[in-house]
Chain A
Amino acid sequence: MIEIVNLSKRYGRHLAVDEISFEVQRGEVVGFLGPNGAGKTTTLRMLTGYLPPSSGAARIAGLDIFRESLEVRKKIGYMPENVPLYIEMRVKEYLRFRGALKGLSGSKLRTRLGEVMETCGLTHVRRKMIKTLSKGYRQRVGLADALIHEPELLILDEPTNGLDPNQIRAIRRLIQDLGQEHTILLSTHILSEVEMTCNKVVIIDEGRVKAADSPLNLISSMRRAGRVTMELKIAPEVGETVLPTLDNVTKVTSEPLQDGWTRFSVFVAPNTDTRIRLAALAAEKGWPLRSLARRNANLEEVFVELTRKD
């Protein structure tokens, strides 16, 4: 659906996007992650034809974004960052205008208007002026605008930015539903959201792609993936000398707890499970054991690992 080859964007001396390449298949929901100023919005703006690339190329549904910009724009539903809307228009009026602009007319426009307002939960505010709507509703209007012409590809720039947790949930559920039949590229900072909604993640930093894979693969390839915590009633020094003698254990740290127990963090090589052997060891030595758990790494740690500056 999207093929990006060595796409770059330069603002004067500043290189905002540096030869990024990645692909998105039809039907995928892709999370586009990166710290602030990593080049996410610039990349999305290039894809939607708002900014020209300085070099490189991208194709959407087989069409070149630069030469066939108008055709490409018909296939994209784009929701820009902060969702700019004509605030003096009413919701339905705005959506009708946008729908007509994107080539819908007559009964087709009327049915689509009803459908998107239903999908985005806007039916009861359709007569309100956009300037009287809360941020969450404006976000939904933006989404309805992106959806109205039944685009093959949805590009959403921080769709949940500035919403409260309930609204974030609602938007996330909407994205999950839409992901059934659309290809979606969404940029965001909220990593739990990506873990829940996306089947592919592209992480960029300083204009370069740092990783592009499914969230599960990314997490399992993480260095910190194998980390087991256990709580034993022994002195910290005892554990720190005995535990590292097991195979695949790379490092052990301890932390005395207030009730006389000690919590050990056991770092193990990736893709190994040491919990059974740890339990056996504790039994063999007669150490009281009350908790043993593998800490699963999450996308947040992957993100921090890939983009931290130190």
Chain B
Amino acid sequence: MRTFRILFFKELKSYFLSPFGWLICGFAALMQALSLSTTMKGFLDSPRSESLVFATFQAPTFWFYFLFLFPVLTMRLFSEESRAGTLEGLLTAPVKTWHVVLSKYFASYVTYLILWIPAFFHFKLFTIITNVPPPFSSGELVGVFSILALMGALFIAFGCLASCLTSSQIIAGVVCVGILFVHFLLGLITFFYGDQIDAAPFFSFISSREHLATFSRGLIDTRPIIYYLTTTSFTLFITHHLLDYRRWKP
């Protein structure tokens, strides 16, 4: 546990002791602010039955910046170490492979969670500045931030996996975007082809878009929770074995 803690803080520092982490934070805050203000303008034009939280996260701009956060956060995790050769130093120190995998994973996950702090304050500011009752309930806020945390857990794990596959950051980033895009498109199949096809329940089960819609209405559904937690563990398991395989292949 001590080794994990040392590695975890080293990774976390590498995000925030360089401009890199702050740049992503700034970018995320800007995009969150943009989608909120666009949605608020929409509310001015026409009356809406949905809440502000729901409408903000249903805006198409959300997926554009959201899916690009993950490659940026994760692409250098393992690929940079294997390119620079520091992986050799790391793995010849008395550390277990899972220490390395989990410390990197949780460091980027925590960074990802920090990215959502501005969005939370944006919604809080709405009530303070406008002095009108908030056009959303706190349940919706809790729901949307839980699903963001859950989706982030899986998508960061995808990024770790992609980064572990190659020693080039660019390729790692592209592979990560690829995985996320395919995952997102699979969720859209019921949207394009309707829910009459046989596999429709499966596709709607893994659809992040639908999960987001459900949770941002304030409905905490346990099925997506299980889905994200199990797939995250499985992806990390594969990442661990990939990293070990490179060392132990015959």
Whether chains A and B associate is: yes
Q: Which of B3-11, B159-167, B175-183, B227-235 faces chain A? A: B3-11
In the complex, whether A49 has a CB less than 8 A from a CB of chain B is yes
Q: A88-B14, A101-B6 are in contact. Are A70 and B96 (CB under 8 A)?
A: yes
In the complex, whether B133 has a CB less than 8 A from a CB of chain A is no
A88 touching B18, Cβ below 8 Å: yes
Q: Which of A76-84, A201-209, A223-231, A276-284 faces chain B? A: A76-84
B93 touching A102, Cβ below 8 Å: yes
In the complex, whether B84 has a CB less than 8 A from a CB of chain A is yes
- The majority secondary structure among interface residues of chain B is helix
CB distance from B23 to the nearest CB of A (A): 15
Contacts of A135 in B (CB 8 A): none
CB distance from B218 to the nearest CB of A (A): 43
- Number of chain B residues whose Cβ lies closer than 8 Å to a Cβ of chain A: 21
Residue of A48, A51, A84 contacting most chain B CB atoms (<10 Å): A84
A100 touching B6, Cβ below 8 Å: yes
B94 touching A73, Cβ below 8 Å: yes
In the complex, whether B92 has a CB less than 8 A from a CB of chain A is yes
Closest to B7 in A: A101
CB distance from A94 to the nearest CB of B (A): 10
Closest to B5 in A: A100
Interface size class of A (residues with CB under 8 A): 20 to 34
Q: How far is the CA of A45 from the CA of B247 in the complex (A)?
A: 10
Closest to B82 in A: A84
Contacts of B3 in A (CB 8 A): 101
Contacts of A76 in B (CB 8 A): 92
Q: Which residues does A use to contact B, with CB under 8 Å?
A: 10, 45, 48-52, 54, 70-71, 73-74, 76, 78, 80, 82, 84-88, 97-98, 100-103, 105, 145
Q: Which residues does B use to contact A, with CB under 8 Å?
A: 2-3, 6-7, 10, 14, 18, 84-86, 88-89, 91-96, 247-248, 250
- 27 A–B contacts, CB within 8 A, in A order: A45-B88, A48-B92, A49-B91, A50-B247, A51-B247, A52-B247, A70-B96, A73-B92, A73-B93, A73-B94, A76-B92, A78-B92, A80-B92, A82-B85, A84-B84, A85-B86, A85-B89, A86-B84, A87-B84, A88-B14, A88-B18, A97-B10, A98-B93, A100-B6, A101-B93, A102-B94, A105-B2
